[in-house]
Structure 1
């Protein structure tokens, strides 16, 4: 059983040769240290045999990351701490597991009131969008529109008939022998009838506008309140998150501490920063004078809805949330952090330009190169940076649809915003098309089809996206099997929409192809080369009207 400081001591104690001399890198892709795996297997056995009420973790998409940290106590004994990411069973604190890093007293002083305010704002927002008042107003407007339309149709038909009669009367005047005074009087009467019809139409349109304006004004007022409410809610949410981030106290091995907000400043920290298992474990070790030796984090329970996590499999610490926390926490320890992957600087001539004219160009993006630099890293090596280095006057370049860094192939770049918007419309109207080729890990059932699974960013891990039928954006992908080889399948993919990671999520998800792209470290189990390549591009040129067709064979 864990001791008061939550340490579970190994029995028997490991031999000195089995104990690591320094902390292993939490970001390393390699298997954890054997002693950390021993601790993890003991925790897995505890979880497997009902050591805690964990049934909810088996529900679809409800699995969780757990972790163990091998530590040395001041008396020399070797044991380990246990931790979990976020909350477990709706609780932050569970006996035998490392507690969270925030100050619960300080947090409880403001969080309940802040959450209650956000809930109230959310409920009012729902009322303004879906409540009885806007619903009744929209129904009233629809009824008015239908009734007014019918009245206008009836009047136009009557006026058309009157116009025909006046035309016939004028024809009779032109063909018959009528005194001038009679002709003048008749034409004047016909003109008055025409003006009367026009005046009647204007009166009806005015009455309709007045009746509609009452409803439209009421809807406009609700919309104005809704927009103001959204702004207020966003601002209150930001303020609350800033206060939450300041309640997280992050220590390091030198005895120093900073808040999560300070570690990510000037940007706000990502959601969940400081809540992963690794930061909790290190913080608990420092508080109790325990020396960290080895870390292991693993998934337990049902896989995420996007796939890519398997019960009992080990995973490195995430870069999105822990990348700004763990390096600080490890200061003062003897540990070599694995450098964050960066696209190599590479010479300009490595970027092949396959098509170029006065309005756009198409390049063959190599694997490992960003399409665009980050918002806060404008000079970071990328396709755009290299193109601007190639032509310093090309200041208006815009990538039409960015490719993931590890995806290679054809990338379309507009030279100005107007061309960019025109190309976007081409794709929206199916006047442009892209074809990708990929090797998938697994046998795909069937030969071809269409996947339609809505996608949104994963708030727990900003690197990833997940399928969400309720809040996700529409995402559609066409596919066709082109080759089968052993346990792998080669497919062609046609994105009909363009969302981040769409093809990778649709490939890996059980309701999609059920087979992740080979080498996909986010949604699969492999971290070799990502076997995804933009192979063909076809579009109608927005300025010349010429159909452009380009192909660049995959290097795999």
Structure 2
């Protein structure tokens, strides 16, 4: 496969990288790409040249090869945040969306907003129960009342588990506030699966928790085009409004006065 050159990123309007409505102050907040564009281009070039994302490891981990992104799993979003530290120096952070080949944390990359050890510990039993229900559903005849009851039971168990998982996420903002994810969501209601795992929430959360002032953010897609064709290798994309946009307003709150 011959990837599209990342220079085509310039075809996308770079005015706004992410935005969202804040449930706390009742207004929209936004952050441009700004000075994050250059470091994002450099990160893309480094990934293409190295063919992996564990750049600083003396012994490459085959799980961290970029070949993974062109396989069945498909491509992934990567993000860069340009920020100013408390001494006025510029800091550049980078993140990948979700997990990379089942890996949550990697040296040199911003960690997730959830305590992954707690996540694995506290969700194990519920996930096992849901898997058992899945096997029981398969064993029942199609259209049978027993199968329908089990499907309903699994759906409720999955919804409850997702609520518990979202409550584990702690979202900071630039007013010094920290709340569980459900209290940051706008409009109110259950957030989609994966909310909080994308690049922008990871990067902004890390910046807010570590006294950094964001100056710009850029997210690009690396890998095989997704099934819908809405994500192509080597292009910038703004943060999605239906998932990230529901929490980014809260996370960006306070940045105007920083």
Question: What are the Cα deviations for residues 125-177 of structure 1, in whole angstroms up to 9, with x where unaligned?
Answer: 112147xxxxxxxxxxxxxxxxxxxxxxxxxxxxxxxxxxxxxxxxxxxxxxx
CA spacing shift, 1:104–1:61, aligned 2, 3 Å: closer
Higher relative contact order (CA 8 A, sep 6+): 2
CA spacing shift, 1:314–1:266, aligned 2, 3 Å: closer
State how far apart, in whole Å, the 1-side matches of 2:33 and 2:176 are. 26
Secondary structure, counterpart of 2:163 in structure 1: helix
Match of 1:247 among 153, 168, 179: 168
Unaligned runs of 5+ residues in structure 1 are 1-22, 131-219, 336-556
Match of 1:58 among 70, 81, 84: 70
State how far apart, in whole Å, the 2-side matches of 1:245 and 1:124 are. 27
Rg larger in structure: 1
Q: Which residue of 2 aligns with 1:238?
A: 159
Q: Which residue of 2 aligns with 1:112?
A: 124
User: How far off is 1:60 after superposition?
Assistant: 5.1
State how far apart, in whole Å, the 2-side matches of 1:100 and 1:30 are. 20
Match of 1:102 among 111, 114, 118: 114
User: How far off is 1:283 after superposition?
Assistant: 0.7
State how far apart, in whole Å, the 2-side matches of 1:95 and 1:307 are. 31
State how far apart, in whole Å, the 2-side matches of 1:31 and 1:334 are. 12
Match of 1:322 among 241, 244, 251: 244
Secondary structure, counterpart of 1:226 in structure 2: helix
User: How far off is 1:24 after superposition?
Assistant: 6.0
State how far apart, in whole Å, the 2-side matches of 1:59 and 1:290 are. 36
Question: What are the Cα deviations for residues 201-260 of structure 1, in whole angstroms up to 9, with x where unaligned?
Answer: xxxxxxxxxxxxxxxxxxx8xx22212211111111111011001001111001101112
Q: Which residue of 2 aligns with 1:300?
A: 222
Structure 1: 4+ residue segments shifted above 3 A? 27-31
- TM-score, length of structure 1 as denominator length: 0.38
CA spacing shift, 1:51–1:75, aligned 2, 3 Å: farther
Q: Does 1:75 align with 2:87?
A: yes
State how far apart, in whole Å, the 2-side matches of 1:224 and 1:58 are. 42
Unaligned runs of 5+ residues in structure 2 are 1-14, 21-29, 54-64
Match of 2:211 among 268, 278, 289: 289
CA spacing shift, 1:92–1:71, aligned 2, 3 Å: same
Question: What are the Cα deviations for residues 481-540 of structure 1, in whole angstroms up to 9, with x where unaligned?
Answer: xxxxxxxxxxxxxxxxxxxxxxxxxxxxxxxxxxxxxxxxxxxxxxxxxxxxxxxxxxxx
Question: What are the Cα deviations for residues 28-72 of structure 1, in whole angstroms up to 9, with x where unaligned?
Answer: 999832x21111012112211223212110125610111000011
Question: What are the Cα deviations for residues 433-472 of structure 1, in whole angstroms up to 9, with x where unaligned?
Answer: xxxxxxxxxxxxxxxxxxxxxxxxxxxxxxxxxxxxxxxx
User: How far off is 1:82 after superposition?
Assistant: 0.3
Secondary structure, counterpart of 1:324 in structure 2: helix
Question: What are the Cα deviations for residues 401-433 of structure 1, in whole angstroms up to 9, with x where unaligned?
Answer: xxxxxxxxxxxxxxxxxxxxxxxxxxxxxxxxx
Q: Which residue of 2 aligns with 1:48?
A: 48
Q: Does 1:124 align with 2:116?
A: no
- Which structure 2 residues correspond to residues 435-454 of structure 1 after superposition, within 5 A? none
Secondary structure, counterpart of 2:228 in structure 1: coil
Q: Does 1:86 align with 2:98?
A: yes
Q: Which residue of 2 aligns with 1:38?
A: 38
Task: Check the 8 A contact 1:72/1:291 in 2, yes or no.
Answer: yes
- Which structure 2 residues correspond to residues 344-383 of structure 1 after superposition, within 5 A? none
Q: Does 1:26 align with 2:18?
A: yes
Secondary structure, counterpart of 1:81 in structure 2: strand
Match of 2:145 among 200, 211, 224: 224
Secondary structure, counterpart of 2:139 in structure 1: helix
Between the two proteins, the alignment pairs up a number of residues equal to 221
State how far apart, in whole Å, the 1-side matches of 2:244 and 2:211 are. 22
Match of 1:273 among 181, 191, 195: 195
Question: What are the Cα deviations for residues 14-36 of structure 1, in whole angstroms up to 9, with x where unaligned?
Answer: xxxxxxxxx96524999832x21
State how far apart, in whole Å, the 1-side matches of 2:131 and 2:31 are. 43
Q: Which residue of 2 aligns with 1:260?
A: 181
User: How far off is 1:302 after superposition?
Assistant: 0.7
